[in-house]
Structure 1
Amino acid sequence: MSLPFNVRQASGRFGVDDPMSNDPGLFSLSRSERYMAFGACFVGGLVLSILGSVFIFLNKMVAFALCYSLGNVLSLFGMGFLVGFKRQMKMATAPVRLTAFITYITLLVLTFVLAFTLGNGALCLVLAICQFCALAWYSASYIPFGRSIIKKTCGSFAAAI
């Protein structure tokens, strides 16, 4: 299992190597500025995703695909402010999460392409749900035992049906 930070014996506070101390990132921001940038990206992404979800019920597929997908990308981009963009890309392409990352990016592109070419609302909704699942699976790889929790939860739901 890979963690987004290095646990070292007797280094730093609480024995954890702070990912924000090593990489100044794209912008030379202080810790509090990074937290604010992450929060702004997360909230902006959430607003765009919710707005996109509203557009699908209004049968505006292009607006849906644009808002929903950009909302997801913005939320993911915000993580770069916490750990640094270079380190985030390195972690995203680590073997443990590479398949989930590629699947997420592929579904993101497919959502855009199909919304602009076909405008099929049902298909866009299915792709958005798959995109959300791929992002959740990718994100769970950063949480210790995150993927096994998802597997057990889905297994419990399947058994209940």
Structure 2
Amino acid sequence: MSLPFNIKSAGSRFGVDDPMSDDTGMFNLSRTERYVAFGACFVIGLVLSIVGTILIFSGSMAAFAVCYSLGNLVSLFGMGFLVGFKRQLKMATAPVRLTAFLIYIALLVVTFITAFTLKIGVLCLILAICQFCALAWYSASYVPFGRKMIKGLCGTCARAI
């Protein structure tokens, strides 16, 4: 699938590369196959997260932590199909995203520890919400003005309260 104009050559003048270049990555997938793989990962991740959220009400903290966190990880993994896994890791550790990425990973670990050792449902739920917020903040760094929109939305909500 080719675009009607050459993003890579136009982008190089502006210092921007095409995130969906024709580089097939380590799985040797076409652009369409990469979109399908991303979509599948996103849907699987969403389903796992929803199942995990439902499981918290059953009192199974370990199952909740595994499903919810695995769902987030599968969704995040799916982004690798779009931009390439090596590039995604490089972009995740860029200074603009590093703090959010590390906080997200730390919250994943703490959620597992809390679910398997402390087994406190309310704390697991709070950690899951924080995990979601960290992932949203991390993901917003990929969207032009994404973090600015989140800040504006939070400011509007705070003023409404």
TM-score (norm. length: structure 1): 0.89
Secondary structure of the 2:25 match is: coil
List gaps (5 residues or longer) in structure 2.
Answer: 1-6
Higher RCO (CA < 8 A, seq sep 6+): 1
The 4+ residue runs of structure 1 with deviation greater than 6 A are none
Q: Following TM superposition, by how much is the alpha carbon of 1:10 offset from its aligned partner in structure 2, in angstroms?
A: 3.2
- The CA distance in 1 between the partners of 2:37 and 2:147, in whole Å, is 27
Correspondence list, 1:6-85, <5 A: 10=10, 17-21=17-21, 23-85=23-85
Q: Following TM superposition, by how much is the alpha carbon of 1:39 offset from its aligned partner in structure 2, in angstroms?
A: 0.7
Q: Following TM superposition, by how much is the alpha carbon of 1:22 offset from its aligned partner in structure 2, in angstroms?
A: 5.1
- The CA distance in 2 between the partners of 1:154 and 1:19, in whole Å, is 29
- The CA distance in 2 between the partners of 1:76 and 1:35, in whole Å, is 14
- From the two aligned structures, give the one with the greater helix fraction: 2
Q: Following TM superposition, by how much is the alpha carbon of 1:37 offset from its aligned partner in structure 2, in angstroms?
A: 0.6
- The CA distance in 2 between the partners of 1:11 and 1:94, in whole Å, is 20
List gaps (5 residues or longer) in structure 1.
Answer: 1-6
Aligned in 2, Cα 1:58/1:158: closer, same or farther, shift over 3 Å? Answer: same
Aligned residues: 152
* Kept in 2: contact 1:104–1:135 (CA 8 A): yes
Moved more, 44-53 or 21-30: 21-30
RMSD: 1.7
Q: Following TM superposition, by how much is the alpha carbon of 1:21 offset from its aligned partner in structure 2, in angstroms?
A: 2.5
- The CA distance in 1 between the partners of 2:97 and 2:88, in whole Å, is 12
* Kept in 1: contact 2:11–2:18 (CA 8 A): no
Match of 1:129 in 2: 129
Q: Following TM superposition, by how much is the alpha carbon of 1:24 offset from its aligned partner in structure 2, in angstroms?
A: 2.4
Equivalent pairs: percent with the same residue? 72
Q: Following TM superposition, by how much is the alpha carbon of 1:25 offset from its aligned partner in structure 2, in angstroms?
A: 1.9
Supply the AA of the counterpart residue of 1:59.
G
Match of 2:100 in 1: 100
